[in-house]
Structure 1
Amino acid sequence: MSAATAQRRVIVVGGGLGGLWATLAIAGGGQKVLLFSLFEVMRSHSVCAQGGINAVLDAKGQRDSIDQHIHDTLKGGSWLANQPPVKSLCEAAPSLIRTFERMGVTFSRTPEGLLDQRLFGGVKHRRTCFAGASTGQQLMHGVDQQVRRLEAEGRVQKLEWWEFLGLVKDADGACRGVVAMDLRSLEVQAFRADAVVLATGGLGQLYAPQTTCSTNSTGAAASRVYQQGARFANAEFFQFHPTAMLGEDKTRLMSEAARGEGGRVWVPKDPADRREPGRILEAERWYFLEDWYPAYGNTVPRDIASRAIWRVCRELGQGVGGGDRVYLDLTHLDRGFVESRLGAILSIYRKFAGTDPLDAPMEIFPAAHYAMGGLWVDFEHDPASGGVTPGSPRNHATSIPGLYACGECDYGYHGANRLGANSLLSASYSGRVAGEAVLSCLAGIERGADDLPAAPFQDEVARQQAINRELMTGQGSESPFQLHDALGALMTDRVGVVRDNASLDRAIAALAELEGRAAHMDLREASPWANQTLAHARQVQDMIRLARVMAASARARDECRGAHYKPEFELPLPSAGDADGPAWQHYRERWRAENARWLKTTVAEHGIDGPRIDFEPVDLSVLAPDRPRDYR
């Protein structure tokens, strides 16, 4: 059998939308897939996505266009995203929605039976397809059913409740398999593969408990391959969702759809006003987003809204009750309309807050939500289309040969800030593209992983077992749970919504100290069966190393761009007025100068003493950055 026709084995790590789409593409192309997941795939964090998925269908007759979707995505990301992948992403979105439809996804529809679309932040057109307020869950059901079909045919094998620990590389440094741990038996085992796709999601647990992310969104897998040589890009860009529900245990997402469907954000004009919100008259309320950004109002992008809420609460002292909270108000909207469109988040708020958002405004504050940065991935530019070359083995390839990444764990599509409802789109699209790239990569392999000697696999198993033994028998005094708490507090306080270099310097020093402490843990548990503390301890160590990348990247970028905000380097926008006046001309000159210096991708490489930070150019071949972001 020739190399081109031989069946190969591919490992996909992660069972969310990115991993399932990659699995569909690879198994559908005739190759065998081993699908690893920390838990049942339908518990993946993709099911938590609420508001919708973007695609230009122009269902509302607003003369929306794919070119406008591309522009909104690039502008929303402060022009930092490589443009060919963004172009292909937006162009593929409509057909992706039709594919989901054929999978049986129950999108919300108009009374005429057409796909409904809602408004989301950073845009002026209704472009977001949705399934109530549980869109991610519905998309996952559709794709999961297709993967189950391939599983029944023997083309996919699921290994749920296994944790990825590290890569196995051959003598040339190419990825040829993984080492993983059975979370029940704690068995550590090597698995051979001709290519590996990492689709392990985000890293919001670096900010726990002030995060909307799942407890499994640790970023540990990405950290592990980074430590094995994969480059990590744009780590400083982390999105804080403006409308997170306050909670003692964690914060919970109140979808951006609430703003898109007409929700209004406000505080009492008098910060000393302690009346119930329903008793505060309209004239006594401050709708600050509408005042500051009249062109977009409550649908400004997330980074803009988060900083506005931060400013109102922390700098102006006008948060509700004098604290860190503002109102997200739905009470002026039709009750039946809100229930039908936002039922999932209403249920969450009722359950955990004990009040009904239809009767009283929700109380919200920004929380860590989404990583724009992630593993560096390549692409091949297609000059003919301006997008990426379909099926190129370079697409979504990391800097380690044979290793691909997709979904939130890569950095490919969002630049400095992600537009709402582009996450489900990028996860699905990137998974499919990565899968197609892997098929092309496999066609060029002459020597399969099964033909390799056993030594590199045995060596990596032994290394991972040694780490486990050291943790299980350690005589240290540090608790992994307390270290995680310290990490979350540190990141929230010093690498949060608003940053400054002095705080970042302290964070970098404190993280180095935390990493040292994490080498001396006491698990207080030596059980050889289902030892969750062992798995968590390993994740904490790798989260700290990834946090060092984020802090160092933030320290290296002395500007304000998207979610990365250092007030001391801000270029204040001139007052709204004549766009050709001298003030705006001078501002645009300074903005172009700043772009010449900082419109670059931050790239981190692992070093013994910490991350090494460098910068590389951004591909601007589709659309020249034409103007600064201005949502007023």
Structure 2
Amino acid sequence: MGKEILVVGAGLAGMTAALKLVEYGAAVTLVSPAYSERAQSVMAMGGINAALNTKQEDDSPEQHFEDTMRGGSFINDPEAVENLVRTAPEIIRWLEELGVNFTRDEQGRVDLRNFGGQKKKRTAYAGARTGKQISTALIAACRKHEAAGAIRRLTGWRFYYLLLEDKECAGAVILREDTNEWQSITADAVIMAVGGPNGVFGQTTGSRLNDGYAAGRLLLQGIELANLEMIQYHPTTVYTASKQMLITEAARGVGGRLFVPKEGKPWYFMEEWYPEQGALMPRDVVSQSIHKVCNELGLGIDGKSYVYLDVSHLPRQVIDAQLDEVVSVCRKYLKLDPYKEPIPVAPGIHYFMGGIKTDKEHRTNIKRLFAAGECSAQYHGANRLGGNSLLGALCGGFFAAKSAGSADPIDHAVANRLGEQGVEAALLDLRQWDQLPRGSQGKFLELRKELSEIMYGSMGIYRKERELLKAKKRLEAMREEAGRVRHPCRFYETRTLDANLLLALAMVESALERKESRGAHQRTDFAEKNDGRFKKSSSALYDNKTVNIAFM
């Protein structure tokens, strides 16, 4: 009988893992709060990196490795990055076989373009909707296996907590959010593919479905997290009433220019400061440069923290073919015409390099527990290169599936006992929540709003000790307050706030302890990089009401 594997999350990492597990003969349960069509993966516009070397630029996996390590400021796991870049061409071929409609060059090959932090063209793309194209192909492949019974999909269910005993995972308890139903799923292995913790900050470019509950709960259960201080601000986003909207890096990859008015004419500051790569420097560098232009030089548009991104000089056919999603966002949300007008953009939270600490095989510090995609930390270090997120999700799915598929069979008697105990404990949690004062809705909403304000205030592009210490103190107090309030009608929302507060505290503690500036983590009070002490990943472990931070 094949292994039984639980995959939590149905974006690209989760679906890839499920598909590869079926190849290994496993029976897969795929759990997610919504259908894969709503996963954050669908939003990815720019592309996926692979050193295919079809542009006569002498590209290679070795150079992809060097760019990725340099972009991550050398705290990414070199063995994992080696796997990433070596597997990338195979992943592109696999996607082609699944039917992904990549944009082609004149010779009919997968076309490649420039992306930030890379001197060679190695980003494959499918117009301006690469994420949608890849997701569509994987969804179709999964449905075939669902029809055959190899993949069981549970949609509308949330991860609640792991079934653990003696640092060994036996499955998970899941919750149907709208009805508060519970079930335990025992498994020979569990793969977490739950995305980044957008809910800790609230307003990000990412999906609100990726709320950060899972990472906070895993931290509480003793799972080791890494590099939580490394949070990527994408340099070109636009603000809307509901969320930050991304203006893809592809706009700069095809020749878009960043500027502000200075002395009556456009000043292309990135091209002056970084003449070799200009606006295609790594994202942390571009975001920090925009911050400097707006906050130190006072040249932001209309006195705000915005600069212009101009694509109006590009040929119309280039915009139509590669930036149609940008045109749609600008017309719908900004009421401007990017064919004629520059786009006002500002840095916004886009990606979390930190997450569940995994090795090159995507193993965690808990036996039988694996992680893949944005929730897993090993590939990107201090800053992710554009085009490496889709690659990391798919590569993570490949390796996590291989590792989970080779796990030893579980003791089903032990797993069933843990499953029964897990559901009983979850029902007790629900009863305790129901006894909390119903008049505390106002306080709950206040805490949720304050969490966002604290995190943006202390964990921005630049950080300093005074603000971090202030945030730490307040977050500790808020955790106590949150234990006495409740969302008026949603149990899961109440528990998500608890988990978000713990995860936020771990992020702030990690930023406090990294007393240097590296990649996405910039300290005004420790402005230099300190390789002697901190050319290492940070580690966060929760023990006896304390978050312990170490570097290793």
Q: Fold conserved (TM > 0.5)?
A: yes
CA distance in 2, matches of 1:538, 1:453: 25
SS of structure 2 residue aligned to 1:597: helix
**Aligned 8 A contact 2:441 2:488 in 1:** no
Q: Which residue of 2 aligns with 1:405?
A: 371
Judge which range, 298-307 or 466-475, deviates more.
466-475
CA distance in 2, matches of 1:126, 1:481: 47
**Aligned 8 A contact 1:246 1:363 in 2:** no
Residues 317-332 of structure 1: pairs in structure 2 closer than 5 A: 317-332=298-313
Q: Which residue of 2 aligns with 1:456?
A: 418
Letter in 2 for 1:603: S
CA distance in 2, matches of 1:492, 1:194: 40
Q: Which residue of 1 aligns with 2:399?
A: 433
Higher strand share: 2
SS of structure 2 residue aligned to 1:24: helix
Q: Residues 542 and 127 (structure 1 numbering): CA distance in 2 closer, same or farther, change over 3 Å?
A: same
Residues 202-601 of structure 1: pairs in structure 2 closer than 5 A: 202-209=196-203, 211-270=204-263, 284-379=265-360, 395-441=361-407, 444-445=408-409, 447-449=410-412, 451-452=413-414, 454-475=416-437, 477-479=440-442, 480-525=444-489, 533-571=490-528, 594-601=530-537
**Aligned 8 A contact 1:604 1:611 in 2:** yes
CA distance in 2, matches of 1:133, 1:321: 30
Structure 1 residue 615 and structure 2 residue 551: aligned? yes
Deviation at 1:462, TM superposition (A): 2.1
**Aligned 8 A contact 1:497 1:565 in 2:** yes
CA distance in 1, matches of 2:479, 2:546: 11
Per-residue CA deviations over 1:166-194 (Å, capped at 9, x if unaligned) read: 01123x33110110011232101111111
SS of structure 1 residue aligned to 2:174: strand
Q: Residues 453 and 175 (structure 1 numbering): CA distance in 2 closer, same or farther, change over 3 Å?
A: closer
**Aligned 8 A contact 1:81 1:416 in 2:** yes
**Aligned 8 A contact 2:180 2:491 in 1:** no
CA distance in 2, matches of 1:401, 1:522: 34
**Aligned 8 A contact 2:465 2:525 in 1:** no
Q: Which residue of 1 aligns with 2:5?
A: 10
RMSD between aligned residues: 1.5
CA distance in 2, matches of 1:315, 1:608: 43
Q: Looking at CA atoms only, which structure, 1 or 2, has the larger radius of gyration?
A: 1
**Aligned 8 A contact 1:472 1:523 in 2:** no
Q: Residues 513 and 459 (structure 1 numbering): CA distance in 2 closer, same or farther, change over 3 Å?
A: same
Deviation at 1:257, TM superposition (A): 0.6
Number of residues of Structure 1 aligned to a counterpart in Structure 2: 550
**Aligned 8 A contact 2:71 2:282 in 1:** yes
Deviation at 1:132, TM superposition (A): 1.1
**Aligned 8 A contact 2:236 2:248 in 1:** yes
Q: Which residue of 2 aligns with 1:581?
A: none
**Aligned 8 A contact 1:219 1:409 in 2:** no
Q: Which residue of 1 aligns with 2:147?
A: 152
Per-residue CA deviations over 1:272-299 (Å, capped at 9, x if unaligned) read: xxxxxxxx6xxx1111111111111010
SS of structure 2 residue aligned to 1:523: coil
Deviation at 1:459, TM superposition (A): 2.1
CA distance in 1, matches of 2:415, 2:392: 38
Letter in 1 for 2:341: A
CA distance in 2, matches of 1:521, 1:111: 61
Q: Which residue of 2 aligns with 1:605?
A: 541
CA distance in 2, matches of 1:82, 1:435: 19
TM-score, normalization: structure 2? Answer: 0.97
Q: Which residue of 1 aligns with 2:69?
A: 74
SS of structure 2 residue aligned to 1:132: coil
CA distance in 2, matches of 1:20, 1:448: 27
CA distance in 1, matches of 2:134, 2:420: 39
CA distance in 1, matches of 2:184, 2:544: 26
CA distance in 2, matches of 1:82, 1:524: 44
**Aligned 8 A contact 2:373 2:393 in 1:** yes
Q: Which residue of 2 aligns with 1:578?
A: none
Deviation at 1:315, TM superposition (A): 1.9
Q: Residues 453 and 565 (structure 1 numbering): CA distance in 2 closer, same or farther, change over 3 Å?
A: closer
Deviation at 1:472, TM superposition (A): 3.2
SS of structure 2 residue aligned to 1:600: coil
Q: Which residue of 2 aligns with 1:586?
A: none
Deviation at 1:118, TM superposition (A): 0.9
CA distance in 2, matches of 1:43, 1:549: 29
Structure 1 residue 129 and structure 2 residue 93: aligned? no
Per-residue CA deviations over 1:200-249 (Å, capped at 9, x if unaligned) read: 0001222222x111111222112211211100011111101000112232
Letter in 2 for 1:521: V
| Dislocated runs of 4+, deviation >3 Å | 478-482
Deviation at 1:114, TM superposition (A): 2.0
Deviation at 1:524, TM superposition (A): 2.7
CA distance in 1, matches of 2:274, 2:494: 45
**Aligned 8 A contact 2:170 2:415 in 1:** no
SS of structure 1 residue aligned to 2:525: helix
CA distance in 2, matches of 1:523, 1:208: 16
Deviation at 1:453, TM superposition (A): 6.3
Q: Residues 470 and 128 (structure 1 numbering): CA distance in 2 closer, same or farther, change over 3 Å?
A: same
**Aligned 8 A contact 2:222 2:543 in 1:** no
Letter in 2 for 1:565: Q
CA distance in 1, matches of 2:534, 2:167: 32
Per-residue CA deviations over 1:592-623 (Å, capped at 9, x if unaligned) read: xx31211111111012333111111xxxxxxx
Judge which range, 194-203 or 606-615, deviates more.
606-615
CA distance in 1, matches of 2:424, 2:459: 36
Letter in 1 for 2:311: L
The equivalent position to 1:175 in structure 2, one of 159, 169, 183, is 169
SS of structure 1 residue aligned to 2:537: strand
Letter in 1 for 2:426: Q
**Aligned 8 A contact 1:557 1:598 in 2:** yes
**Aligned 8 A contact 2:363 2:370 in 1:** yes
